[in-house]
Amino acid sequence: MKHFNRLLPSMVATIAFAAAMPAQGKPANEATKMESVQHLKDYQVVEFRRYVTADGELAHFVKYFDTYFPEAFEQLGAMVFGQFTERGHPNHFTWLRGFHDINARPIVNAAFYYGPLWKEHRVKVNAILPDSDNVMLLRPLHVDQDISVLPAVDPVTEERGAQGVVVAQIFTVKKGREEAFAEKAEAAFAAYRIDGVHPAGVLVSLDVPNNFPQLPIRMDGPFLVWIGVVRDNVTLDRQLMPQLVAVEQSLAASGLLRGAPERVVMDPTPRSRLRWLPDTNTEAVP
């Protein structure tokens, strides 16, 4: 009887857990998955980080990154919105990191880069990462429209990993014409309201000194960046791509840019939060 009494609490817990699981073995309340990340919001500083890995090492870097780093930054108060490989660039890795404000950036970075996790893995990671200095420091175009944080990839219900395609358009804007260009760009981006396309954010340069000099940032702005998530390659090629080309041509002809727009087409890594979720509205901009 004493043994039974000791086992009773664990038995009750097991029964309660089983009752919360549907017959198929998927977690309950899947339709309300966004509720689990309601506390993860208001990231007003965003780093658009583009790395070059050593030849043949991109797949290894993806595994290291996905395994070790996203939750580490989340625990420190930052957010890895998503991480990707770039199509057409077999050595390129891109990721988006958010901080609540500019003062949080050096605090979080110091805690991570001087902490035990990075100390353990930095030698092998840096050995396959010859270039990590292509970084734009950005903010949401509108303060109340920061990038939405999607739920982490569920290893039970998303066995294939993150799906979809992520597209970024990078515009190099003439200094002093940022507001005029942003107004034109927002109007043009309305063409992207297509079934199978979720706008994820519009970011612009954050013009402040680099308060964590150990990590260089680009000083050749200002930039405006549109980011969207696309359901699949068919939607990208047949529906969105013609609109992307038309918008780039139109905005390039505005006289407000310093160079041709850059289009970056990316595949989410297996654990990227920013991905195609058909039942989730990632739309962060009107």
Show Cβ contacts of residue 92 under 8 Å, excluding neighbours closer than 6 positions.
Answer: 50, 51, 52, 53, 58, 85, 86
Look at residue 149 and tell me if it is in a domain.
no
Q: Identify the weakest region by mean pLDDT among 60-74, 145-159, 170-184.
A: 145-159
Q: Tell whether the model's pLDDT for residue 5 goes beyond 70.
A: no
161: which DSSP letter? Answer: -
Check: CB of residue 191 under 8 Å from CB of residue 246.
Answer: yes
Contacts 24+ apart (CB under 8 A), 83-90: 83/268, 83/269, 83/271, 83/272, 84/166, 84/266, 84/267, 84/268, 84/269, 84/272, 84/274, 85/58, 85/266, 85/267, 85/269, 86/50, 86/264, 86/265, 86/266, 87/265, 87/266, 87/267, 88/265, 90/58
Look at residue 12 and tell me if it is in a domain.
no
Beta strands in 74-160 (DSSP E): 79-86, 92-99, 131-140
What pairs with residue 265 in β-bridges? 167
31: which DSSP letter? Answer: G
Look at residue 2 and tell me if it is in a domain.
no
Rounded CA separation 90/58 (Å): 7
Check: CB of residue 197 under 8 Å from CB of residue 228.
Answer: yes
Rounded CA separation 49/38 (Å): 25
Split at pLDDT 50, 70, 90, the class of 33 is confident
Place of tokens 């901009």: 285
Q: What is the CATH number of the domain that holds 247?
A: 3.30.70.100
Look at residue 27 and tell me if it is in a domain.
no
Instruction: Tell me the per-residue pLDDT of 188-225, one tens digit each, with 9 for 90 and over.
Output: 999 999 999 999 999 999 999 999 999 999 999 999 99
- The predicted model scores a pTM of 0.87
- Angle between helix axes 116-127 and 104-113 (nearest 10 degrees) is 80
Look at residue 91 and tell me if it is in a domain.
yes
Check: CB of residue 71 under 8 Å from CB of residue 78.
Answer: no
Question: The domain containing residue 79 runs over which residues?
Answer: 38-144+162-268
- Buried/exposed code over 245-268 (b: 16+ C-beta within 10 A; e: otherwise): eebbeebeebebbeeebeebbbeb
- Output the pLDDT for position 132: 96
Look at residue 86 and tell me if it is in a domain.
yes
Rounded CA separation 15/8 (Å): 11
- Output the average pLDDT for the chain: 90
What are 269's two structure tokens?
Answer: 């890594």
- Output the pLDDT for position 23: 42
Rounded CA separation 257/88 (Å): 24
What's the length of the chain?
286
Q: In terms of Cα–Cα distance, which of 94, 103, 156 is closest to 131?
A: 94
% residues pLDDT > 70 (the chain) = 86
Look at residue 32 and tell me if it is in a domain.
no
Tally of domains within the chain:
1
Instruction: Tell me the per-residue pLDDT of 91-127, one tens digit each, with 9 for 90 and over.
Output: 999 999 999 999 999 999 999 999 999 999 999 999 9
Look at residue 276 and tell me if it is in a domain.
no
